[in-house]
Amino acid sequence: MARRDLDVAILSIEGTNCDEELRVALADLGARPEIVSLKQFEGRGVGRDERRELADYGALFVPGGFSAGDYVRAGAILAARVRASLGEQLEAFVRSGRVVAGICNGFQVVVELGLLPGRPGGRLGPPEAALLTNDSGHFECRPTFVAWQGGRFPALKGTPSGTRFLFPSAHAEGKLVLSGNPEEHLARLDAAGQVLFRWVAPDGGPPVYPWNPNGSLDNVAGLTNPEGNVFGLMPHPERSYFRAQSPDWTRTGGAEGYGDGHRFLDAVLSYAETAG
């Protein structure tokens, strides 16, 4: 894989648990990913040589897991800590056009920060959405499919609307709800091209449970901010990065190669190299 001129921070605190999977995928794509503890950004309880500055990275990924045990509400504690210690730096990072990506628990965190659906200029603020308990009432861990909605997300520019991706899901709180009148709010986001993915059935058609694993409004599985450089999605592209991670791998001869997560993350990094 070609070497990329891109340093990527993967944010971690106690409870994040998908950071290493993401690091392996991004490194395989030629980037320079580093798992960075929030304390390293804060400069608290670490040596001088362990401190990190957010501005030194070309992209920030907030990975999946159960940050701070998901107490209070999924992603809320990590979001509060980031807001308190990195708020101004993060706003400047977003305004610069650099990529901020939230995957599963990371999506919950970015929503709690108010970066999604987002305000013009990348301002943090009170949440305008939330990811609530799945309609099933339990943790959903299964292969799922999403379809690209052809919106504002520049990383997938040129990709036909409706293109389907297999990304596994693993969450208990993934039901997207929006503030105010949810249907009107969603209509505005749709019109602005901010719906990144919707859940679909394996044939690409409308999903019923379990293909929409959480009951989110109008099957929304991911969002972007108005500028398109901040995005979040509930399923895990890093868990379908290698072909060997696919659920049908042994039934199709155990071929080597890559899965749908590869083409998505490759597109994200290609965009991130030119952003900011």
Residue among 79, 106, 76 nearest 90 (CA): 79
Tell which residue, 2, 48, 46, has the closest CA to residue 27.
2
Catalytic residues: 104, 236, 238
Q: For residue 61, what are the contacts with CB-CB under 8 A and spacing of at least 6?
A: 8, 9, 10, 11, 22, 26, 33, 101, 102, 103, 106
Residues near 11 by beta carbon (within 8 Å), at least 6 away in sequence: 36, 38, 41, 60, 61, 62, 63, 78, 82, 106
Task: Report the greatest alpha carbon distance in the chain.
Answer: 53
Positive or negative: CA dihedral 222, 169, 73, 34: negative
| Amino acid code (one letter) for 209 | Y
Q: Which helix (H) or strand (E) holds 144?
A: strand 140-148
* Rounded Cα gap, residues 217 and 135, in angstroms: 11
Number of residues in the chain: 276
Burial letters 174-193, b for 16+ CB under 10 A, else e: bbbebeeeeeebbeebeeee
User: If you compute the radius of gyration of the chain from its CA atoms, what whole number of angstroms results?
Assistant: 17
55 close to 93: Cβ distance less than 8 angstroms: yes
